[in-house]
Amino acid sequence: MERLVDRFLNYLLLERGLAENTLVSYKLDLADFSAFCQKEGLAPLSPEARQAVLLYLLKLKREGKAPATISRRLAALRSFYRFALSEGVMSLDPTSNLESPRIVDRLPQVLSIAEVESLLNQPRVTDPAGLRDKAMLELLYATGIRVSELISLELDQVNLQHGFIRCLGKGSKERIIPLGSVAAHYVSEYLIRARAKLTRGKLTSVLFVNRRGRRLTRQGFWKIIKRYAVAARIKKEIHPHTLRHSFATHMLENGADLRSVQELLGHADISTTQIYTHLTGARLKEIYDQAHPRALKTGIGE
């Protein structure tokens, strides 16, 4: 099982070109399934593998795992067993005809423009780390890139003279994203005034570095944005993609078309981008209720 999982992950990396975060998720999900089979004395690569899969899914449900988590685990198992089938290790796919649990779509949390302004104004630009944080937050909101894409940026992927960045997204797909003048200014200031103080003479091609001169981690950025959200007294739940969701919503609210936002976000399917139309629809309803003189009237007989 372990050797087959390694071959499967190599296949996903070399043949499918999946992102590192996706590979890590697959590896963890399959390791959890394998550990369950070993504990229960089940054979995941035998003709009885379907029973192992069903018992594993039942275990996840009993543990109260979210439908999205169970769906992701099942998706990992599906991909793995299809690979095992193509390699001749399995004669039947034990995940065939298994339905994923129904997932209730939850709209992502979005900040108002005023809340974004407050968040972005928190870093102290007189401090090297503060100037770095200001540049990162401004760049995130200006481009809508993922946090994983932000911390992966290299120096040669940023063109401040012409105002754009080259971003490598999921599946190593490259896209060119415009960079606004405010974000470009603070990235430039960071490069001139702060980066060398953080790298301490170390040679690295990484754009944003931590206090030890190394590449920032997702966890490191998570702590940074949480700290500034608290300082800005933002009551909403903040997560690493909050600025990405806010970018998309504010673009659509201000007249950007859905296809353009899809391209900027790097979504392969426009249906993924369409969730933001629900957010803007909710916002329009809120504006209508506040602005129209009869929006909140009860109607006949009033």
**Which residue out of 193, 215, 241, 283 is catalytically annotated?**
241
Bridge partners (DSSP) of residue 158 are 165
Annotated catalytic, 241? yes
Single out the catalytic residue among 73, 195, 244, 245: 244
Q: Is 267 a catalytic residue?
A: yes
Residue with tokens 């399995």: 90
- Say which of 170, 197, 215, 239 is annotated catalytic: 170
| Catalytic pick among 81, 186, 228, 276 | 276
297 is catalytic: no
| CA dihedral for 281, 284, 286, 288, sign (positive or negative) | negative
Q: Does the active-site annotation cover 276?
A: yes
Q: What is the DSSP string of 61-106?
A: HHTT--HHHHHHHHHHHHHHHHHHHHTTS-SS-TTTTPPPPP----
- What does the DSSP 8-state code read for residue 108? P
Active site residue 56: no
DSSP secondary structure letters along 132-188:
HHHHHHHHHHHH---HHHHHH-BGGGEETTTTEEEEE-GGG-EEEEE--HHHHHHHH
**Which residues, 6+ apart, have CB-to-CB distance to 297 below 8 Å?**
none
Please confirm, yes or no, whether 226 is among the known catalytic residues. Answer: no
Catalytic residue, from 27, 193, 267, 283: name it.
267
Q: Which residues contact 162 (CB under 8 A, 6 or more apart)?
A: none
Pick the catalytic residue from 73, 146, 245, 250.
146
Kindly calculate the radius of gyration of the chain based on its CA atoms and give it in whole angstroms: 23
The catalytic site residues sit at 146, 170, 241, 244, 267, 276
